[in-house]
Structure 1
């Protein structure tokens, strides 16, 4: 068979955030030690994309929120520039950790260093604008969405783009009419879960139906499963790219580089390579490691077409989280949460009757984490 000539190549990374073990590399702009042989992959690509999972600011003013606050100095952008990253998605759950000032600082810093941005803006209309670029004759469109937490832009505030089905499904369809290849980056799903939730799978499949050629889900901090849907690919969990090394935690330490190759006959192919965190930055997995990883992904991915498995696995996962989710939702402090874990949810059972829980359930019928809480309530009332 005649080998087709490659026209262009995109490399897509996952989440990037400095941690104690990598902050010195960011400080010293030491791209070669932070990225090691991954830089070779970047150098071969025409467009390198990643998710900036922290605020770039020299005057941090953390907001009040649940969960960690992530930020780093503005000069940390230089190591990403040196590594060869061209485009950063800022549509994630941490970009507003230092308020509007932090979002503006992050945007200005990226643009000052000639790194393009997507999924963020001074208001929601600006944040929803796609990134479009012609790369070696291939017109590429990228849309980036984040789930709604403490991060979103609105009509008058800086922040990240969030997915609005009443507008954005049409936006995907319209953008596909104007580009040769459409990538949707979705920063969402549940952390540390290797399969799509029923809602996430439904959402990502709809992205494809509306025109996305590739959908990748980030945020989960683990490599998930891959679905072939209508001859397109959906990645349910890309894992970390740079988020520090955790001893004896291969799930946290592993991530996927996605490579999209475009050919002269107007076709493309999506490949993946494994990367792993070490105590000195990240590196490409070797051949043996990649074979092992591919087998694991293949085994998980074979199950995503079974709707009964997807639902049963999701319910089982949610049940394992109920001692954490119920007291957090009901407003108990950390001492009650700890006691509730020890007593296997009996604190909630004693303090809250079903009438109260039904009212709370109704209030919660909204967006992302509520898929967990709604699953738990549905099981509770059974």
Structure 2
């Protein structure tokens, strides 16, 4: 398999790479003017210091960088930002980004052409997107002083994913992705998986998600960061590797409609040392127009609740949290099923239903709400 390989040369020789990983970035009505102006002080405040002194700073770019207004046919919001966003990221120290997410293709081919141009102009290397599925499977490999760090960036299936004959994001595949991770570990010193998936606004993994993360670790992943949920979830150390089920956003202030749930407003920056394999979680919260390091009681509360959810992975009560979340979503999912059977707008409603079956996270909820066992069977 081909890889994108980037060489880094330093005067001071070290044998490890300090890595900073952030979650989803999508400028909003509250922040777009500041991205256009390049006002990093307002956008990032005291978090700017986090980007200093690292060998790798990588974020998930969850929007097209385009002025196009042509949206693909889809359900849900379409996300875009001004092309100058790439220059802003570069100015604070971001050299890499993942495009493996469900919104990167919202503005189609023109949106991607503009995005590639903006990233190239800013000298930011991307991963997780390709001209077709095989092309999208290329890993990002960063080499320094003989050490090789590999990022495997994948997403669940929502509109943006590549096929054999269509450009798109690198979709997760239960066979190919595991094989890609195994090969990556054979060829590199450290493998970090960025998995864009899991149920939005849910602080717990589904049983399927936890199982596949364990499988990825068993095949060579040193760390897995699950993004996309827009909230801080829970963490476990499994077989000496790190799994974070929900990192929260990076920069998605006030969301799409200006009134997101409270959980939207807090997030974690992740620092990772590729040799010691130590991981550090840094709590951050939104401001009116940017983000700031969490302090005082808010910082303590974020980390206290995070640790409580982490403990649930050890005692099994995470399953209760997952089930409760699914039950709260039951009416919505029943509505999707009912509408798929309606004669009014049948194509539209059936397409929505097909989307729910295509997306792994939606299917996880269906499986929790509507199990296929039969009560009349022998026990």
The alignment partner of 2:166 has SS state of coil
Mapped partners of 1:72, 1:329: distance in 2 = 34
Matched, 1:51 2:60: yes
Structure 2: runs of 5 or more not aligned: 1-13, 345-352
Mapped partners of 2:169, 2:151: distance in 1 = 15
CA contact (8 A) 1:240 1:255 kept: yes
Judged with a 3 Å threshold, the aligned counterparts in structure 2 of structure 1 residues 190 and 175 are, in CA distance, closer, same or farther, namely: same
Instruction: Give per-residue Cα distances to partners, 1:150-171, cap 9 Å, x unaligned.
Output: 1111122111001111211111
Judged with a 3 Å threshold, the aligned counterparts in structure 2 of structure 1 residues 64 and 100 are, in CA distance, closer, same or farther, namely: same
Matched, 1:273 2:282: yes
TM-score w.r.t. the length of structure 1 is: 0.85
Instruction: Give per-residue Cα distances to partners, 1:315-337, cap 9 Å, x unaligned.
Output: 32212111111212443699x9x
Judged with a 3 Å threshold, the aligned counterparts in structure 2 of structure 1 residues 90 and 52 are, in CA distance, closer, same or farther, namely: same
Matched, 1:125 2:134: yes
CA contact (8 A) 1:11 1:258 kept: yes
Instruction: Give per-residue Cα distances to partners, 1:72-119, cap 9 Å, x unaligned.
Output: 222222111112111110000101111122223222321231101010
Alignment partner, residue 317 of structure 1: 325
CA contact (8 A) 1:103 1:159 kept: no
Query: Which of 285, 294, 301 is 2:310 aligned to?
Result: 301
Judged with a 3 Å threshold, the aligned counterparts in structure 2 of structure 1 residues 159 and 286 are, in CA distance, closer, same or farther, namely: same
> How many angstroms does 1:138 deviate by?
2.9
Mapped partners of 2:337, 2:293: distance in 1 = 40
CA contact (8 A) 1:111 1:117 kept: no
Alignment partner, residue 225 of structure 1: 234
Aligned residues: 349
Instruction: Give per-residue Cα distances to partners, 1:36-74, cap 9 Å, x unaligned.
Output: 111111012111000001111122310121110101222
Query: Which of 365, 368, 376 is 1:372 aligned to?
Result: 365
Instruction: Give per-residue Cα distances to partners, 1:6-25, cap 9 Å, x unaligned.
Output: 84310000100111111111
Counting only pairs closer than 5 Å after superposition, residues 183-262 of structure 1 correspond to structure 2 as 183-245=192-254, 249-262=261-274
> How many angstroms does 1:312 deviate by?
3.4
Q: Which contiguous aligned blocks of 4+ residues in structure 1 show a shift greater than 4 angstroms?
A: 246-249, 363-366, 379-382
Counting only pairs closer than 5 Å after superposition, residues 66-215 of structure 1 correspond to structure 2 as 66-215=75-224
Counting only pairs closer than 5 Å after superposition, residues 5-16 of structure 1 correspond to structure 2 as 7-16=16-25
The alignment partner of 1:12 has SS state of strand
The alignment partner of 2:292 has SS state of strand
Judged with a 3 Å threshold, the aligned counterparts in structure 2 of structure 1 residues 19 and 101 are, in CA distance, closer, same or farther, namely: same
The alignment partner of 2:320 has SS state of helix
CA contact (8 A) 1:6 1:261 kept: no
TM-score w.r.t. the length of structure 2 is: 0.86
- What do you get for the CA RMSD once the two structures are aligned? 2.5
> How many angstroms does 1:247 deviate by?
7.0
Judged with a 3 Å threshold, the aligned counterparts in structure 2 of structure 1 residues 57 and 46 are, in CA distance, closer, same or farther, namely: same
The alignment partner of 1:184 has SS state of strand
Judged with a 3 Å threshold, the aligned counterparts in structure 2 of structure 1 residues 332 and 28 are, in CA distance, closer, same or farther, namely: same
CA contact (8 A) 2:15 2:145 kept: no
CA contact (8 A) 2:32 2:82 kept: no
CA contact (8 A) 1:7 1:261 kept: yes
Judged with a 3 Å threshold, the aligned counterparts in structure 2 of structure 1 residues 106 and 13 are, in CA distance, closer, same or farther, namely: same
Judged with a 3 Å threshold, the aligned counterparts in structure 2 of structure 1 residues 366 and 278 are, in CA distance, closer, same or farther, namely: closer
Alignment partner, residue 349 of structure 2: none
Mapped partners of 1:72, 1:310: distance in 2 = 36
Judged with a 3 Å threshold, the aligned counterparts in structure 2 of structure 1 residues 119 and 169 are, in CA distance, closer, same or farther, namely: same
Mapped partners of 1:244, 1:78: distance in 2 = 19
